[in-house]
Amino acid sequence: MKNVIWVFGESATGKSTLINEILTDKNNIRTYLGLNSEKIDVIENTILSNIASFDDEANERFRKEKIKEKITDFLRSDNTVLLIKGQTNDMNDKYGNTLKEFAIHFPNLNKVIYLLEIDNLDLHYYRFVNKDWFQADKERYERIFTREWLPRAVEKHRKMVYSFEQYGFTILNIDSTNGFKMRGDRNLNGEGSNFRR
């Protein structure tokens, strides 16, 4: 069966890192995630960082069309898994709600979301403010994205992601504090972790 996996999480939770580790099978992560026998592809465009996507409707329309085009190509291929790095705007009605439209147009695909979160908000904020795009205009972004902003943003993002269960998505919550650990499962070192939504 064809599987489309969207990787979501607030900025600096490791979405691109997880996708790249799956592609290279770092630390046998494919086996850990149950993907070891799958033929995996990725929509490369979604991995590229683009600050303009925050409020650029033309860019969002282009992104949406590119995702639809690549999913259609995936359906014609012999690949069994397609990875997509999600953005909050993909779930926003203002930009056409790409995720909802995807679910409606492709009802027979197995739809999965990996939701990445970092429990330690101080560590998360440290990683966030050290992103290249943040450092490029640090003074401006420090005013917009304060430390106090982050907990509300994470909670809003989580609620938004879980609202897509109604469209047939299976959601796996992954702790990305230090590597990647599925909640309620074993991490890559075999240690247990607690499931939390």
CA 35 to chain centre: 17
- H-run or E-run covering 8: strand 3-8
189 belongs to a structural domain: no
Q: Has residue 192 been placed in a domain?
A: no
pLDDT less than 70: residues of the chain = 49-55, 184-197
Residue 194 lies in a domain: no
Give residue 1's pLDDT. Answer: 84
Q: Residue 14 belongs to what domain range?
A: 3-182
Return the pLDDT at 49.
Answer: 52
**CA distance readout (Å), 18 to 14, 98, 110, 166:** 6, 21, 20, 25
Neighbours of 164 (CB within 10 A): 20
- How many domains does one find in the chain? 1
For residue 147, the SS3 value is coil
Per-residue pLDDT, 52: 44
Q: pLDDT by residue (tens digit) across 122-163?
A: 999 999 999 998 999 999 999 999 999 999 999 999 999 999
pLDDT of residue 54: 56
Q: Does some domain include residue 133? A: yes
Q: Give a yes or no: residue 187 inside a domain.
A: no
State how far the Cα of 7 lies from the Cα of 24, in Å rounded to an integer: 16
CATH number at residue 119: 3.40.50
Q: Give the torsion sign (CA, 152, 112, 99, 4).
A: positive
- Quick one: pLDDT at residue 55? 60
Distances (CA, A) of 103 to 29, 93, 168, 174: 26, 14, 7, 22
Predicted confidence (pLDDT) per residue in 113-126, tens digit: 999 999 999 999 99
